[in-house]
Amino acid sequence: MYEDEAVTEPKAVPEPQPLTQFLQRLTQRVRAFDRRRPLVWDVLVTTFFVAAALVDAGGGWRNVAPNTEVPGWLVFLMSMGLSLPVLWRRRHPMAVLTVMVATALVSSWSGAMLQAALIQMLVLFSIAMRLPLRTLGRAGLMMTVPLVVGAARYPEDSWDQQIIPNLWAYAVVALLGIAVRSRQDYTEALVERARQLEVERDQQAQLAAAAERTRIAREMHDIIGHNLSVITGLADGGSYAAAKSPERAAQALEAIGSTSRQALGELRRLLDVLRDETPTPAELAPQPALTDLDQLIDGVRAAGLPVRTTVQGSPDSVPAGPQLTVYRVVQEALTNTLKHGGPGATATVDVTYGEGGVTVEVTDTGAGGSRPSGKGRGLTGMRERTALYEGTL
């Protein structure tokens, strides 16, 4: 027997603490404000550091300075040199860092030891976010110089209390800047990819629309062109026979009506497909097939063109798409013979079905008529149709 195993329910994910939620919202708001008003944000940050530098210059620097005899005016200038350039950290980060490093170098050499590391880390973060890694490396080396100078001039506990902690802080800030830049690059890449996909989607839609217009134009040309040619031939024959044989004229009129109804039916099916937003494959498949060739040829014969046909094989193995293509090619060829063959023209249609497909040969004895021709769209349409199924015309 199998023993029932105890089913353990998945542990619920703990909800964020109120303090965490508050910090997340605060960070999001600060970032949003920075994106909307970067200049205002830079002014606020610069004002904060200037105020802190002035407070430090007012006397706080003496608590950690190895040399408390530095003139006040020099301390003030160094404080401004460390804080005011923050305003331009976005546009010229390396220039701002150069000014700060030079000021920090004077501070270290004089023994004032102003708190320059924190302000420099802000600029270092901007460099890590915006500039290449090689530039970031140069910035790190520049920031190390004042630390080494101060440790060499005032070596008491400088390595343990100044250089090593500051170097660790610089490394952490640089890594944070690189991480933020990588995330921004990834987000921008996703946005660009989405834009490219949207462009490709629009292009595909335009190509699909153009292909659909071409397909509709071919169908309209084949349906209207052929049936109008048949109707014209029947009308000419009916008018000629009206005086001598009313019975044959009536047959011509009946054939005109049948041909017109057939054309209207095909046009109606085509328009129904255009109206339907989600047509089924059966609805999209055009109606004429190879089994309808006899009806097509009978209509052409009724219009006054003698047509002889020979068929070898069966169309059962031919898919619906190629069947429509063959039907339309035969239809267009016979239509051209009707329009341009002239008096006494005859046509022959030979259809051969094989394992590799179907072969159709349409020939006529027409010498060409004097009626104006169109723009050759029929031949172009036949070539396009056969090319869809790797055929040749």
152 shares a domain with 242:
no
Residue entry with tokens 């169309």: 315
- Say what percent of the chain tops pLDDT 70: 67
364 strand-pairing partners = 347
Residue 62 confidence (pLDDT): 62
pLDDT value at 189 more than 80: yes
350 shares a domain with 211:
yes
Closest CA to 125 of 84, 181, 81: 181
Closest CA to 227 of 312, 302, 277, 169: 302
The Cα 201–Cα 343 span in angstroms is 53
377 shares a domain with 239:
yes
pLDDT value at 137 more than 80: yes
142 shares a domain with 271:
no
The Cα 81–Cα 107 span in angstroms is 10
Domain that holds residue 131: 27-156
Residue 238 confidence (pLDDT): 66
81-125 per-position pLDDT tens digit:
888 888 888 888 899 889 988 988 888 887 777 777 788 888 888
34-88 per-position pLDDT tens digit:
677 777 777 887 888 788 777 777 766 666 666 677 787 888 888 888 888 888 8
Provide the domain count of the chain. 2
207 shares a domain with 102:
no
350 strand-pairing partners = 310, 361
Quote the DSSP letter at residue 196. H
- Report yes or no: 174 and 132 within 8 Å, Cβ to Cβ: no
Domain end: 130, 156, 182, which one?
Answer: 156
The 10 Å Cβ neighbour count of residue 33 is 13
- Token pair, residue 77, equals 């200038």
222 shares a domain with 116:
no
- Report yes or no: 365 and 330 within 8 Å, Cβ to Cβ: no
Residue 365 confidence (pLDDT): 82
The Cα 184–Cα 176 span in angstroms is 12
Q: Lowest-confidence range among 125-139, 311-325, 359-373? A: 359-373
Please indicate, yes or no, if residue 249 is contained in any of the structural domains.
yes
* Mean pLDDT confidence for 306-316: 84
User: Helix (H, G, I), strand (E, B), or coil: what is residue 173?
Assistant: helix
The band of 7, judged by pLDDT with boundaries at 50, 70 and 90, is very low
Closest CA to 113 of 75, 170, 81: 75
217 shares a domain with 132:
no
Residue 60 confidence (pLDDT): 62
141 shares a domain with 71:
yes
Q: Is 36 exposed, middle or buried (0-12, 13-18, 19+ CB in 10 A)?
A: exposed
Please indicate, yes or no, if residue 22 is contained in any of the structural domains.
no
Helix 72-83 vs helix 117-130: angle between axes, to the nearest 10 degrees?
20
The Cα 110–Cα 81 span in angstroms is 15
269 shares a domain with 150:
no
- Report yes or no: 116 and 97 within 8 Å, Cβ to Cβ: no
Q: What is the pairing mode between strands 357-364 and 347-354?
A: antiparallel
Quote the DSSP letter at residue 163. I
